Structure 1
Amino acid sequence: MAPLRILLIDNYDSYTFNLYQGIAEVSGGCFPEVVRNDQLTWTELEAHLGAGAYDAIVISPGPGTPAHAGDLGVCRDLLRARPRIPVLGVCLGMQALALEFGGDVRRALCGPRHGSLSPVKHDGDALFAGIPSGAAWPVVRYHSLEVPEASLPACLLPIARVDLPGDQTLMAIRHADLPYYGVQFHPESICTAFGPALLFNFLSCAARFLGKVALEPPVNVPLAGPPGKPPALLHGSGASTSLAPIRLGVVRSEAVDMTSVIARSDLHQAATHIFERLFHGRAGGWWLDSSLQERGGRWSFMGAAGSSSPALGRQAFYEGGGALRLHRGPEAPPERLDLGAQTFWDWLEEDLRQYAVIEDSRAALPFDFCGGWVGYLGYELRLEGRTGNEPPARAPRVDLDAAPPHASLVWTDRFLALDGHTGQLLAVGLYDVGDGKSESGARSDAEAWARQALEEALEAARAGPLPAEASKVADKKISSTAPADPAAAAGLVPREEHSRYLSNIRACVEAMVEGESYELCLTTQLSRKGAPPAWPLYKQLRCNNPAPYAAWLDFAALRGPQVACSSPELFLRCDREGLLEAKPIKGTAPRVPGDPEADERSARELQANEKERAENLMIVDLLRNDLGRVCAPGSVHVPTLMGLESFATVHQLVSTVRGARAKDASTVDCLRAAFPGGSMTGAPKLRSMAILENLEGGPRGVYSGGIGFLSPNGAFCLNIVIRTAVVHADAISIGAGGAITVLSEPEAEWDEMNLKAAALLRTICAVDQETQ
């Protein structure tokens, strides 16, 4: 039979594409058409329905209330028109179905349920074919509002309820005559049992109503569990070699075993000495520093601006308002570009598409990075976008005397790579095949650089720190008494003082009770004028708080910031084969040094904490949605859910979400789909970010964005910018915060924010003491 034509109406939710992926998988390839609830007028949708364009409609979850027309858009018109077409309403969609047929919607009597699992008892309706009833069917709930069963009109039948003492909240309804169904829970959640089965059953009901041949259960798709399986990898969609005007070759040195010249225990300090000798103090110096190998780090990369090719030697600074500044070398005046009708993302897309990497087996790299853009993308880039033919929305123009650019990037065609597992060191060079020299000449230049850089690096490792650096803060832990109040000792003042921060937490909870969000990641900034020296600060930070996604960036020579980052969290990466991966961290508890039993107890309590697990689940579902926008259907999966990882100062719950990038999805498509990282926003993402913008007293800047690389071979990797100090215009700032849920206790959230800032603040104190 012909596949069902399904319309999925998105109510600006952050789980809509989990429904998309789930429907596509269980139907064997019925790819829904996704439209937002204000993308079509009712007149336009009615004409499509009249022409038989769709066989079934799914109304997504979403923030807000069905009583507010703006939260439903065309969904309200659809339900009022009563077309005879199968409809499934999920969460907000079920509430809208009840309200439009005469039922009521109110605040849930049992309180909001955000990321909670509850058993559901059903009446055996065809929607639940093959699904057990009661304790054997736990489902995930994300709702603050409910439909009172007593308010249902005769035409709406209750078909499922929560099965708990004191909680029999209505969980599903169907219309007595029309093929309309509603479920209050989220069948698309990773933790809802038999979610795929429910979606398959709805499509089967739709097929029977339409008189079509019954659907066959899909092969190799477990209807009892969440959609998603390890993907068959798709090759990345980097620019075509035949179309790209700039063709890049890659050379690499032979790998050298650093442990042949220094002890393995000295690798950590040797990396610092190499950076200081080759790149420190140079414009655009950078270091992507995987300084905690046992927690996901392995390869570290380091380099700086500077290239023999004008096509490659660039630094880019996006100042907002469409203003982009390009520098092609230290002597050339900057090029100031007005992006006009383009967004920053459009510019980045065009820039990356102009390059093609020529594969060469002689230069096969044991990692995905081959050069390209390195730097940061700031949080306010979330504002850059466009809708239809409207002028693009912009991140506001920044005053560089007060704040850093929204993005600072350096194009890298020469770098060193150090394997933290084995001690292998190699040098890599990109060369422009068509830069005016013969190809052999350009290649020879890159090979000569690689040989020289490797020699200098080995000499630096043997020799130790430069004399000018030896007198500064040592590359080892500074032992000092931890101050009782690190922020006060470091002289950093929070943007929102204690009472205001608690007030913001309460405002977040109220917004969630009203149904506006499931989770809100509230943050603040701590800052002071008079910054400590940034490079010694980073050296000390990587010793005190090593992290797998640490980084050092130095854009100060061109009015950018210096960034000292010790992030433990991956935002998003993609390898050369097209495998996308995110590793959200949600759930934090302090380490207890010197007391192994208490430390283990702290970890166990974190793993069992309902609030912390709900936080993690909500973000996992959000990231599954974000990856689902750009991944092949059926490929998004979660190999690790709420795994415990322990760092120097905290225990944390870490999950892993993966998917195979679709063939037509570019690097920038992937970033647009997921930026900023959901662990720093909450869900639903768009509504949550709007709420947070009204509460937080200013922009986040570099904090909450991403640091990493974007390679012309289609690979990229960005961290989540947390545990990070930003030095700019003789001021230092750090961001800190936490996820607020309806279970949050304001004082506990204030303490968690301070816990996350403490390691940085102690490091600032130590550097202040050493450099006074």
Structure 2
Amino acid sequence: MLPSLAHPISRPIAIADPQAALAALAPLPHPFLLHSALEGEGARWSFFGADPFAIDRGERYEEAAAAWRRIARRFPTEAAPATSAPFTGGMVGYWAYDFGRRLERIPAVARDDLGLPDFVLGLYDVVGAFDHAASRAYLFSSGLPLAGAAGRERAEARLDDFTRRLESAEKTLAAGPRSGVRAVSTFTPDDYRRAVEKVKDHIRRGDIFQANLSQRWTVELPRGAVPGAMAWALEAALARRSQAPYAGFFDACDHAVACASPERFLTLRGRTVTTRPIKGTRPRGADPAQDRALRDALRASEKDRAENVMIVDVLRNDLGRVCEAGSVETPVLCELESFPQVHHLTSTVTGTLRPGLDALDLLHAAFPGGSITGAPKIRAMEILDALEPVRRHIYTGSLGYLDWRGDAEWNIAIRTALVTPRAVHFAAGGGITADSDAEAEYQETLHKAEGVRVALADLLGPVALEPAALHAR
């Protein structure tokens, strides 16, 4: 049996901000940044890293999960000394929405036009943490996958190498063409409105209560574009524009993800589980009076409140599969939160994870999130797969971390862009209920896409959202 691991060694480091850390680590394989751009305890920490000692994708999920569990079983569970950082090393990456096909039997109707893996997960022995409350940064190094004296030697060498990189970095971002681009949707406006009506038909027949319908836009990139560099620049632009609490960047080499999500999917601290679904949206107003009116209208909307409550019920059911009986509660229901582009209604559901289960068991019970599928979840997913022309991939999947000590945090990957060597893809959607107006639902997707569209415009020049002329099945 392998010996138990000691705490990772750590040291404070001098960096200006998490974006500067990402600039330093960008030349290494598989850099990541999990970034909080808001104030408050819930957005206190940002995390960064690169060069994992293992990376798994596609068909190797069981191997990736087993590797994390094998190490986690012999890792100290108490907090590391000198800092309360909840993440000091472990698994980082994404689960695409389509990973849900492994967990539930969903007919394959929507086209898999990207052909990308449904997860990419790295095991990171060196992780940095930026404490926004104290404006301090720390670097942690475990020496994994080695142990004992060899592990200690590796941990110290890696800590020295990363420290040199981080403390000598210059913050530079890749520049793109500035002439302006077209972002072409998978839907025409009429097609989207018809899809809304089809969802409403299913609701009238009693198949579902609601479903989260979405459309995707694609921006073609010039030949030779580097996904990681483009996504890095886009994440920085999103951070400036959107100030999201669950933003992130992850470089999977042949594709990369940039995200400015306002929504927490799952947090696990010890055995305490928290999820914060978003349902209900209004755009920000052009002036304070209009903004206040839109905010008040969202608070007063029976349709949006009912939509939120239905999804809270879905998540209570999902958490109930793995939490102690009677522990699942809803301490906050339909709280209004405001972001740079939109207002949202947010609820909070909590529970206590049953003994003997871990964060991966929790993820499997709740994935994909109820707020971006519908109610009942599985039937809603089946209907969405038949109505949306292409698979979602990272959109409405999850990006986040799983610490060796068992704590975890994952977002819902909305306000998110997927970058490949040929294109940038981004999507937006909304919950359809019996009371939905098809035109209003279509416009809501445009409001939600605005954050990514404006960030892309910072890099590429004006970005015009255009409908599909014709989409093929």
TM-score of the two chains, using structure 1 as the length reference: 0.55
Structure 1 residues 471 and 660 mapped into 2: Cα distance closer, same or farther (>3 Å)?
A: closer
Structure 1 residues 362 and 725 mapped into 2: Cα distance closer, same or farther (>3 Å)?
A: closer
Which structure is higher in RCO with an 8 Å CA cutoff and minimum separation 6? Answer: 2
Structure 2 residue corresponding to 1:501, chosen from 183, 186, 192: 192
Identity of aligned residues (%): 33
Which amino acid in the other structure matches residue 350 of structure 1? Answer: A
Please give the secondary structure, in 2, of the residue aligned with 1:250: coil
- The question of whether the paired residues in 2 share the 8 Å contact of 1:549 and 1:719 is answered with yes
2:275 is aligned to 582
1:250 aligns with 2:28: no
2:68 is aligned to 352
For 2:298 and 2:423, how far apart are their aligned partners in 1?
Answer: 36
Deviations 1:687-719 (A, max 9, x none): 111111111112111111000012232211110
Is there any run of 5+ residues in structure 2 with no aligned partner, and where?
A: 464-473
Structure 1 residues 639 and 360 mapped into 2: Cα distance closer, same or farther (>3 Å)?
A: closer
1:158 is aligned to none
- The question of whether the paired residues in 2 share the 8 Å contact of 1:490 and 1:761 is answered with no
- The question of whether the paired residues in 1 share the 8 Å contact of 2:320 and 2:328 is answered with yes
Note the C-alpha offset of 1:395.
8.2
TM-score of the two chains, using structure 2 as the length reference: 0.88
Deviations 1:97-140 (A, max 9, x none): xxxxxxxxxxxxxxxxxxxxxxxxxxxxxxxxxxxxxxxxxxxx
For 1:668 and 1:534, how far apart are their aligned partners in 2?
Answer: 27
2:131 is aligned to 419
1:513 is aligned to 204
Deviations 1:132-153 (A, max 9, x none): xxxxxxxxxxxxxxxxxxxxxx
Structure 1 residues 661 and 513 mapped into 2: Cα distance closer, same or farther (>3 Å)?
A: same
1:379 aligns with 2:97: yes
For 2:213 and 2:41, how far apart are their aligned partners in 1?
Answer: 26
2:267 is aligned to 573
For 2:283 and 2:41, how far apart are their aligned partners in 1?
Answer: 17
Q: How does 1:444-523 map to 2 (within 5 A)?
A: 444-451=153-160, 453-454=162-163, 456-460=165-169, 464-465=170-171, 469=172, 472=175, 490-523=181-214
Q: How many residues align?
A: 453
For 2:423 and 2:197, how far apart are their aligned partners in 1?
Answer: 31
Structure 1 residues 726 and 629 mapped into 2: Cα distance closer, same or farther (>3 Å)?
A: same
- The question of whether the paired residues in 1 share the 8 Å contact of 2:248 and 2:399 is answered with yes
Note the C-alpha offset of 1:370.
2.8
Structure 1 residues 516 and 409 mapped into 2: Cα distance closer, same or farther (>3 Å)?
A: same
Which amino acid in the other structure matches residue 587 of structure 1? Answer: G
2:340 is aligned to 648
- The question of whether the paired residues in 1 share the 8 Å contact of 2:32 and 2:49 is answered with yes
Deviations 1:561-596 (A, max 9, x none): 111100110111101x11111010111111124x22
1:538 aligns with 2:235: yes
Which amino acid in the other structure matches residue 407 of structure 1? Answer: F
- The question of whether the paired residues in 1 share the 8 Å contact of 2:88 and 2:129 is answered with no
Which amino acid in the other structure matches residue 382 of structure 1? Answer: G
2:43 is aligned to 297
Please give the secondary structure, in 1, of the residue aligned with 2:249: strand
Structure 1 residue corresponding to 2:121, chosen from 395, 409, 422: 409
1:618 aligns with 2:321: no
For 1:362 and 1:380, how far apart are their aligned partners in 2?
Answer: 35
Note the C-alpha offset of 1:295.
8.5
Please give the secondary structure, in 2, of the residue aligned with 1:618: helix
Is there any run of 5+ residues in structure 1 with no aligned partner, and where?
A: 1-243, 259-266, 307-312, 325-343, 387-391, 474-479, 481-488
For 1:394 and 1:284, how far apart are their aligned partners in 2?
Answer: 32
- The question of whether the paired residues in 1 share the 8 Å contact of 2:90 and 2:402 is answered with yes
For 1:619 and 1:571, how far apart are their aligned partners in 2?
Answer: 12
Structure 1 residues 634 and 689 mapped into 2: Cα distance closer, same or farther (>3 Å)?
A: same
Structure 1 residues 718 and 653 mapped into 2: Cα distance closer, same or farther (>3 Å)?
A: same
Please give the secondary structure, in 2, of the residue aligned with 1:592: coil
Please give the secondary structure, in 2, of the residue aligned with 1:492: strand
Deviations 1:582-613 (A, max 9, x none): 010111111124x2222122111111111111
Note the C-alpha offset of 1:450.
3.0
1:705 is aligned to 397
- The question of whether the paired residues in 2 share the 8 Å contact of 1:526 and 1:735 is answered with yes
For 2:301 and 2:106, how far apart are their aligned partners in 1?
Answer: 40
Please give the secondary structure, in 1, of the residue aligned with 2:312: helix
1:631 is aligned to 323
Please give the secondary structure, in 1, of the residue aligned with 2:7: strand
For 1:246 and 1:512, how far apart are their aligned partners in 2?
Answer: 56
- The question of whether the paired residues in 2 share the 8 Å contact of 1:703 and 1:735 is answered with yes
Which deviates further from its counterpart, 373-382 or 361-370? 361-370
Structure 1 residues 727 and 639 mapped into 2: Cα distance closer, same or farther (>3 Å)?
A: same
Structure 1 residues 283 and 362 mapped into 2: Cα distance closer, same or farther (>3 Å)?
A: closer
Deviations 1:169-223 (A, max 9, x none): xxxxxxxxxxxxxxxxxxxxxxxxxxxxxxxxxxxxxxxxxxxxxxxxxxxxxxx
Structure 1 residues 679 and 514 mapped into 2: Cα distance closer, same or farther (>3 Å)?
A: same
Q: How does 1:394-405 map to 2 (within 5 A)?
A: 402-405=114-117
Q: How does 1:723-734 map to 2 (within 5 A)?
A: 723-734=415-426
Note the C-alpha offset of 1:445.
3.2
Deviations 1:147-175 (A, max 9, x none): xxxxxxxxxxxxxxxxxxxxxxxxxxxxx
For 1:286 and 1:643, how far apart are their aligned partners in 2?
Answer: 31
- The question of whether the paired residues in 1 share the 8 Å contact of 2:88 and 2:128 is answered with no
1:525 is aligned to 216
1:71 is aligned to none
For 1:295 and 1:584, how far apart are their aligned partners in 2?
Answer: 18
For 2:128 and 2:358, how far apart are their aligned partners in 1?
Answer: 27
Which amino acid in the other structure matches residue 284 of structure 1? Answer: H
Structure 1 residues 305 and 679 mapped into 2: Cα distance closer, same or farther (>3 Å)?
A: same
